[in-house]
Structure 1
Amino acid sequence: MTYPIHLKVNGAPVSLSVEPNRLLVDLLRQTLGLTGTHVGCDTSQCGACLVQLDGQTVKSCTLLAVQADGCDLTTIEGLATGDDLHPMQAAFHEHHGLQCGFCTPGMIMAGIDIAKRHEAPDEATIRHELEGNLCRCTGYQNIVKAIDAGVRSLNQAKA
């Protein structure tokens, strides 16, 4: 048995039918082809699957697709405007906030969430806020620098 769902994904309306046990991350990756959202651990520990659901950052590996019915969903693919990177994406590029890149989409989504909740977070705050995101390659130093720069850039854009 399937259930019809209607949602907006990266600004585009999407209507489809899903199995009741289908995870949101699987819908994004397998059905919609949005492979920037990664599955890293299957246990909700790593944060590689972060997306924004109605403006709130959530782990898409812990949500059923039917729970997103009627929601506005933004993935890493929906952040840039054409060739113009989102300020947080640009900050990760400029400050080398990635190594293999597997965790990067989740880290960027986490950085945007940090920027929404903290006007000027210090390094300790950024590190604390990243506790739900794992990177296996870096020492987090450049990730923290990138998020700091991204927050400052987002704040300048608001002013």
Structure 2
Amino acid sequence: MTNHEPFIDGAVETEEARGGVSRRSLLLTVGGAASLAAVPQVAADSISEGGPTASTRRVRLAVNGTRHELDLDTRQSLLDVLREGLDLTGTKKGCNQGACGACTVLLNGKRVVSCLTLAVMHDGAEIETIEGLEKNGELHPLQSAFIEHDALQCGFCTPGQIMSAVGCIAEGHAGSPAEIQFWMSGNICRCGAYPGIVAAVADAAKGT
């Protein structure tokens, strides 16, 4: 006999007709019971793990001279804390991958791309954003230089460019146009205002 299915079906019918339990019925019953037994365990595991709820941590940040104590999601970037938590939207979210530099801020005086910086890793840090450069109604020399040299077009990258330039000058990397171009290369201007940006940074560097 080449096809065994009729034989199996016949055997099932014969066993059931005798009032017994067929092998197929037994396997289905056991398999179903095992599946039902696993469901409460899966649910219990989900409860014990707390589901998708993220952990939070209290973080202290001094932003533009103002101190904040924030309960932050441990996964939250510094960029999102600034924009969504503190409403400092001058810092722009560009690529969100650390490649364009639009989100550059100063962290303890050093340039960082805030989209790749976890806020909870910098408890007690001092942050400076584009909003903090203006003092007593007067623009920062770099802000004035950007205006004077037409170093912007759409303006989206400008906050990051200026904050990066502040860091670049402080680091001593603004001695020549070539040096400025190299050390500012992490900040992309899709409008192509690079000549004006370099001129503005060089001009501001002279007054430091």
TM-score normalized with structure 2 length: 0.72
Q: Which one has the bigger helix percentage?
A: 2
Pick the structure with greater CA Rg. Answer: 2
Q: Does 1:131 align with 2:185?
A: yes
Residue in structure 1 matched with residue 159 of structure 2 by the alignment:
105
Is this contact kept in 2: 1:112–1:151, CA < 8 A?
Answer: no
Q: Let me know the Cα RMSD of the aligned residues.
A: 1.1
Q: Distance in 2 between matches of 1:96 and 1:61?
A: 27
Pair 1:13 & 2:63 matched: no
1:88 and 1:147 in contact (8 A); partners too = yes
Larger RCO: 1 or 2 (CA < 8 Å, sep 6+):
1
Q: Matches of residues 65-84 of structure 1 in structure 2 within 5 Å?
A: 65-84=119-138
What percentage of aligned pairs have identical amino acids? Answer: 44
Structure 2 unpaired stretches of 5+:
1-54
The Cα offsets for residues 63-119 of structure 1, whole Å up to 9 and x where unpaired, read as 111022110110000011031011111111111111100010111011111111227
Q: Aligned AA for 2:60?
A: H
| 1:31 is the counterpart of 2:85 | yes
What SS does the aligned partner of 1:61 have?
helix
Report deviation, 1:120. 5.0
**Residues paired across the two proteins, number:** 154
